[in-house]
Structure 1
Amino acid sequence: MSRLLHTLEKIASLLTKYIGLIIICFSVLAFFWRDGFAWTTTYTSVFLGVAMFGMGLTIHMGDFKVVFTRPKEVILGFIAQYTLMPVIAWLLATAFHLPADLALGVILVGCCPGGTASNVITYIAGGDVALSVGMTIASTLAAPLMTPLLVYLLAGAWVEVSFFSMVISVVKVVLIPVLLGIFLRWIIGRQIEKISGILPLISVVSIVMIISGIVAVNAEKILTSGFAVLGIVMLHNLAGMGLGLGASRLFRVEYTKATAIAIEVGMQNSGLAITLATANFAANPFATLPGAIFSVWHNISGSVFASIRRNGYHQENAPETRSVLSETSS
């Protein structure tokens, strides 16, 4: 049994590390083998709920201490998450005169909380993982209010938005599964700890299934609008990470924490954006497209950003650099 768990942990670690590449491969497969993945869109809410439950299972009660021990960074990340990304989304939708469906999709992505992938990318980048987890928890628990409110305020010019319907959707697919996961870990923490290494598999498989299904049913739309949406999604994501990093420097946040904040701000829970578009805006079928493309892109850009920040950290903390700095200051 222990050998099987060890093997599964290795697989989970590998899949988590290369989630961006895996999403690309399955997206391509779904694009050409649409019948093999189209069925998953019927269960988009279920897959996201499972992913959120998996996230809840990974949260220790001690993780909540981060919110109180590092309030400056958590608050900065929270504010940036729910101001920069929604505003950038609205500006892009307005500047490019996007049709209602795509504008709604871009704004939905911008108004969502940070994604669980941000924690993995922060780890790869050598950033402050505890802070990343703390920010994800804070933005996720606030999502039932913040996401519907921001979508209502920013997307109302394009489509009719039902605030309360969105609140119910977010509570069902995000808040309840996360809290159930946290509660279960609190009750049987020792048993959960034994399989903690394979828990990321739950989120990886769920997110891959969500994205693959959306790509399969939107293949024709991707051919007609995919490149234009990709360009906007790239601007949205890169602007979020760049401004998140800039805000961190402005408030003199140290390197590893600034890395975590930048990644958290730029990487959204696009699976939630897809789910909300499917559940609440059936009359706007193109609204799922930005979320699907964002899911693929932000893992690619996040991995590249992580590599840059990790190399920058090593250079900044290299022995030669420290000796030069000490000589300069003496």
Structure 2
Amino acid sequence: MSLSICFRPFPSCPQTHTRIRLRPLGPTISKLTKLPNLPTIRSVLENSDHPSVAPAEPRWEKLLSTAASLYPLYVTAGAVVACFRPSTFSWFVKRSPASYTLSLGFIMLVMGLTLELRDLLNLFIQRPLSILFGCVAQYTIMPTFGFIISKSLGLSPSLSVGLILLGCCPGGTASNVVTLIAQGDVPLSVVMTVCTTLGAVFLTPILTKILAGTFVPVDAIGLSISTLQVVVTPILLGSYVQSTFPSAVKVVTPFAPLLAVLASSLLACSVFSENVVRLKSSMVGASLSPDLSPLQFVQAILSGELGVIILSVFLLHFAGFFVGYISAAISGFKEPQRRAISIEVGMQNSSLGVVLATSHFTSPMVALPPAMSAVIMNIMGSSLGFFWRYIDPSDSQRSPKVDDK
């Protein structure tokens, strides 16, 4: 389902609207306003005389949209199942890496079906400074902290590469929904996601080669080709289909976000289940017995290397959220932009990390940090979004601001 949302400023602000026909995996944004004051979100279910408000959507589309927004719940529940019954996902794991690659390609195709590159280009021309700053922050903060954390915690070479690879991935589509919840700058978040995703063809392999090449050999060219195949090509194909066959796309659009969310959850949980078997047998297998209670079982798992992996992934995303916000604040951006940059930097495309790890590295442990990220990142991002939801972003309007001209 598509939820049409109108961003309307207070009466004291000029009414300048930028139209973007772009739908991330979550609520559809049909009108976006670039204004310095706090916007109010008007649902299509409310009575309003604003001309941009669309008619109410059918109930079944609302149910689909609500189901798609529960991505953190799906991936968390799947991780619990993978921990206790990893064989549940064996049918998908046995077909890897082809199954992983096709899943990511489908997710990126959905992203392409819901955007028009011409609108993105127009917005980039209108707001180059904040978009450029956000993209630079994405590809400097997370790769750097991925390297620092892996060194500080003394991770094994395979896990260090996996954490660095995760940090070098572009922003994830879930960040757009979290930014909306947090009352952040949604247009900035959407454009940052697309720009960093397209830039991943060159930046993800190069940065991984530079930072992780000291641990294991990194095939930068192979990573670039894979990223082009499973990310950029589906996005461009989806955008072409959207512009060429709009009627057909309109029919499938209500179902696409939920299917993409389920595919992403299946991908992350399958990789996690594959490594849980290996972790239990190699690290804590001696301390486990069939008589352990579920709580004791979890404690035994976390006391081993898996606990260190969870800590490293948590620290990486925390650094992204915190340093992303601080750097945007120091640079003079307004509060909505700070929140969007913080969320965009802190939330990675963990699915891409999983696919690249399983396709180009012999050790399956490389894929574990990106797989764990799908669970930890969404819990952290959703919590931050709901925290900011109740803090008025206009409170910082008196601070120095950077405006795009």
Give the structure-1-normalised TM-score.
Answer: 0.90
Paired position in structure 1 for 2:105: 49
* Native 8 Å contact 1:16 1:120 kept in 2: no
Paired position in structure 1 for 2:363: 284
In structure 2, do the counterparts of structure 1 residues 289 and 235 end up closer, same or farther at CA, with 3 Å as the change threshold? same
Q: Which range is displaced more, 140-149 or 307-316? A: 307-316
Distance 2:122 2:114 in 1: 15
Report sequence identity in percent: 34
In structure 2, do the counterparts of structure 1 residues 226 and 6 end up closer, same or farther at CA, with 3 Å as the change threshold? farther
Of 381, 386, 400, the residue aligned with 1:302 is 381
* Native 8 Å contact 2:104 2:351 kept in 1: yes
Distance 2:221 2:167 in 1: 19
Q: Mapping of 1:127-276 within 5 angstroms?
A: 127-220=184-277, 221=279, 223=301, 224-276=304-356
Aligned to 2:254, the other structure's residue is in SS state helix
* Native 8 Å contact 1:8 1:198 kept in 2: no
Q: Which range is displaced more, 150-159 or 9-18? A: 9-18
1:79 is matched by which residue type in structure 2? V
Distance 1:294 1:66 in 2: 30
Aligned to 1:83, the other structure's residue is in SS state helix
2:313 is matched by which residue type in structure 1? V
Distance 1:101 1:12 in 2: 39
2:366 is matched by which residue type in structure 1? A
1:46 is matched by which residue type in structure 2? L
**Could you list the per-position Cα deviations for residues 224-274 of structure 1 after superposition, in whole angstroms to 9, with x for gaps in the alignment?**
422111111111001111111111111211121211111000000011011
2:244 is matched by which residue type in structure 1? I
Q: Which runs of 5 or more structure 1 residues have no equivalent in the other structure?
A: 323-330
Paired position in structure 2 for 1:73: 130
Distance 2:203 2:394 in 1: 39
Q: How much has 1:65 moved relative to structure 2?
A: 2.1
Distance 1:280 1:185 in 2: 32
Q: Select the structure that is richer in helix.
A: 1
Give the structure-2-normalised TM-score.
Answer: 0.74
In structure 2, do the counterparts of structure 1 residues 8 and 63 end up closer, same or farther at CA, with 3 Å as the change threshold? farther
* Native 8 Å contact 2:159 2:365 kept in 1: yes
Q: How much has 1:44 moved relative to structure 2?
A: 0.5
**Could you list the per-position Cα deviations for residues 26-83 of structure 1 after superposition, in whole angstroms to 9, with x for gaps in the alignment?**
1112233322212223200110110011111111231332222111111011000000
Paired position in structure 2 for 1:15: 67
In structure 2, do the counterparts of structure 1 residues 90 and 127 end up closer, same or farther at CA, with 3 Å as the change threshold? same
Higher relative contact order structure (alpha carbons within 8 Å, sequence separation ≥ 6)? 1
Paired position in structure 2 for 1:116: 173
Q: Which range is displaced more, 264-273 or 22-31? A: 22-31
Aligned to 2:390, the other structure's residue is in SS state helix
Q: How much has 1:134 moved relative to structure 2?
A: 0.3
Of 66, 74, 77, the residue aligned with 1:25 is 77
Distance 1:288 1:160 in 2: 16
2:103 is matched by which residue type in structure 1? F
Q: How much has 1:13 moved relative to structure 2?
A: 1.9
Q: How much has 1:9 moved relative to structure 2?
A: 2.5
Aligned to 1:218, the other structure's residue is in SS state helix
Aligned residues: 314
**Could you list the per-position Cα deviations for residues 63-120 of structure 1 after superposition, in whole angstroms to 9, with x for gaps in the alignment?**
3322221111110110000000000000011111211110011001000000111111
Distance 2:186 2:111 in 1: 14
Q: How much has 1:315 moved relative to structure 2?
A: 7.8
* Native 8 Å contact 2:335 2:394 kept in 1: no
Aligned to 2:391, the other structure's residue is in SS state helix
Distance 1:84 1:166 in 2: 21
Q: How much has 1:198 moved relative to structure 2?
A: 3.0
Q: How much has 1:145 moved relative to structure 2?
A: 0.4
**Could you list the per-position Cα deviations for residues 193-216 of structure 1 after superposition, in whole angstroms to 9, with x for gaps in the alignment?**
354333211320110110121122
* Native 8 Å contact 1:107 1:151 kept in 2: yes
Distance 2:124 2:259 in 1: 26
